[in-house]
Amino acid sequence: MKWNAKHAAMMGILASAIAVTGCSSTSNKSDNAQAGSNANANAATPEAGKEKVKVDFWSIWDPTNGNGKLIADEIVKFNEQNPDIEIVMSGQGGYDGVAEKLEAALVAKNTPVIVQIEESFLARYNPIAADLGKYMSPATIANYNEGLTRSSYVDGAFKAAPMNRSTPILYMNADMLKAAGLDPKGPKTWTELHEYAKKLSNPAKGIYGFSGYWDSDAWYWESAVYSYGGEMVNKDGTQVVFDNDKGTGIIKLFQDMVNDKSMLNAYSAQDNQSDLIKQNFFDGKVAMDLDSVGAMGDLTTNAKFNVAVAFQPQEGGKNVVVTGGANMIVLDKATEEQKKAAGKFLDFLANDENVTSLFKTSGYLPTTKSSLETPEMKQWLQEKPQYQVAIDQLQFAHSRPWQKNWKAMYTVILDDLKGAMIDTSKDPKEVIHHAAAAAQQIIDENK
Same domain, 411 and 354: no
The span from the CA of 190 to the CA of 414, in Å, is: 21
Residue 29 vs residue 351, higher pLDDT: 351
Q: Note whether residue 36 is domain-resident.
A: no
CA distances from 380 to 17, 185, 299, 374 (A): 37, 20, 16, 10
Residue 29 has pLDDT above 80, yes or no: no
The span from the CA of 28 to the CA of 271, in Å, is: 29
Across the range 285-314, mean pLDDT stands at 95
Across the range 216-237, mean pLDDT stands at 96
Same domain, 298 and 435: yes
Same domain, 392 and 257: no
Same domain, 433 and 362: no
Q: Note whether residue 41 is domain-resident.
A: no
Same domain, 284 and 339: no
Same domain, 186 and 288: yes
pLDDT band at 48 (very low <50, low <70, confident <90, very high): low
Residue 11 vs residue 81, higher pLDDT: 81
Strand partners, 71: none
Q: Note whether residue 37 is domain-resident.
A: no
Across the range 43-68, mean pLDDT stands at 83
Residue 12 has pLDDT above 60, yes or no: no
Same domain, 330 and 183: no
Strands 286-292, 168-173: pairing is: antiparallel
Q: Note whether residue 96 is domain-resident.
A: yes
Residue 192 vs residue 362, higher pLDDT: 192
pLDDT at 41: 38
pLDDT (tens digit per residue) in 18-28: 233 333 333 33
Same domain, 226 and 346: no
Q: Note whether residue 4 is domain-resident.
A: no
pLDDT (tens digit per residue) in 128-185: 999 999 999 999 999 999 989 989 999 999 999 999 999 999 999 999 999 999 999 9
Same domain, 285 and 373: no
Residue 261 has pLDDT above 70, yes or no: yes
Q: Note whether residue 60 is domain-resident.
A: yes
Residue 4 has pLDDT above 70, yes or no: no
What total number of domains does the chain contain? 2
Same domain, 187 and 267: yes
pLDDT at 270: 80
Same domain, 112 and 195: no
**For residue 111, what is the domain's CATH number?**
3.40.190.10
| Least confident interval from 7-21, 223-237, 332-346, 347-361 | 7-21
| Rg of the chain on CA atoms, in Å | 22
Mean pLDDT score across all residues of the chain: 89
Residue 280 has pLDDT above 90, yes or no: yes
The span from the CA of 400 to the CA of 119, in Å, is: 7
CA distances from 187 to 99, 195, 196, 272 (A): 37, 9, 7, 27
Strand partners, 166: 324
pTM of this structure: 0.85
pLDDT (tens digit per residue) in 372-423: 999 999 999 999 999 999 999 999 999 999 898 999 999 999 999 999 999 9
Chain centroid offset of residue 290 CA: 14
Q: Phi, psi at residue 145, to the nearest 5°?
A: -65, 130
pLDDT at 22: 32
Same domain, 338 and 302: no
Across the range 36-61, mean pLDDT stands at 70
Q: Note whether residue 44 is domain-resident.
A: no
Percent of the chain exceeding pLDDT 90 equals 82
Q: 120 lies in which domain range?
A: 53-166+324-398
The span from the CA of 298 to the CA of 422, in Å, is: 28
Domain edge (last residue) among 379, 398, 417: 398
Q: Note whether residue 18 is domain-resident.
A: no
The span from the CA of 410 to the CA of 154, in Å, is: 23
The span from the CA of 262 to the CA of 190, in Å, is: 13
